[in-house]
Amino acid sequence: MSGHSKWATTKRKKAKIDSARAKVFNRILREITVAARMGGSDPEGNPRLRASILKAKGSNMPNKNIETAIAKGAGELEGVTYSEITYEGYGPAGTAIMVDTMTDNKVRTVAEMRHIFSKNGGNMGEAGSVAWMFKSKGIITLAKEAIGEDALFEFIIENGGDDLDSSGSEYEVKVEPEYFHAILAAMEKKGLKPIASEVVKIAENMVKVTGEDAEKVLRILEALDEQDDVQNVHTNAEFDQKELENL
């Protein structure tokens, strides 16, 4: 199981046990607003918006919230204009980190990013400093009781998927970003409800961190993830699963 998956799994578990529900809602609402602004308010003709709505419904977000975010993005209601910015840098133990943000104040966000990196033993870099280490990939997680492995494998191959990992407690489907929205739409039509779905940045070469280094890396990842403007955090850090559970 890849390092990014362990970090994503950690985030999902964390969201269930703390007060992160409002933060999760805010992130999804920002994504809906930006998707509607860029591609229009019709989900049928806007794959990014359709995927964002599916994520919102999967988080049990009220329809009224979704409709309001779409209206703001489409300019039908007054709302905030967000800019999408990705920050790059290094964390403890030489780990690479990429942070996707949506912000209404670039000056505030870049200052907070620099503060979090420096406070937690990292250094924020210039654009492109670590991006070359990562490749974008759509990741969709499904419960194993939702469908049989052979049937799921056949389904993802027919719909543009790249790979199916069934070694963990859940299925993990990998797909190129250009097919991500299409395969989600096909899953919805088939009645399959993903546990999680997102386009992530996966490092081609992972860096194994253990002991105190692992604690330090997790500290900076969590600090970045908790910043209000952050949508996603990506890293090439790989943790030992048993050690991770005890941190």
**Cβ 122 vs Cβ 89: under 8 Å:** yes
Note whether residue 116 is domain-resident. Answer: no
| Residue 10 located in a structural domain | yes
Residue 40 lies in a domain: yes
- 138 within a domain of the structure (yes/no): no
Residue-wise pLDDT for 25-83, tens only, equals 889 999 999 999 999 999 888 888 988 998 888 888 999 999 999 999 988 888 788 99
Q: What is the DSSP string of 145-193?
A: GGS-HHHHHHHHHHTTEEEEE-SSSEEEEEE-HHHHHHHHHHHHHHT--
Residue with tokens 């709505």: 53
pLDDT recorded at residue 170 = 92
Whether residue 237 is contained in a domain is answered as no
Structure confidence by residue, pLDDT tens digits, 114-145: 999 999 999 999 999 999 999 999 999 999 99
pLDDT of residue 240: 81
Q: Could you read off the pLDDT of 228-243 as tens digits, one per residue?
A: 999 999 999 998 877 6
Q: Could you list the residue range(s) of the whole structural domain that residue 23 is in?
A: 3-73
What torsion, rounded to 10 degrees, do the Cα atoms 200, 5, 188, 183 define?
50
Closest-CA residue to 32 (of 61, 83, 75, 66): 66
**Whole-number Å distance between alpha carbons of 53 and 36:** 11
- What proportion of the chain, given as a percentage, has pLDDT over 90? 64
Both structure tokens of 85: 């910015």
Can you give the pLDDT at residue 146? 93
Residue 14 — very low, low, confident or very high, per pLDDT cuts 50/70/90? low
- Write out the two tokens for 179: 């097919």
| 141, amino acid identity | T
The count of structural domains within the chain is: 1
- CATH number of the CATH domain containing 37: 1.10.10.200
Is there a domain that residue 94 lies in? no
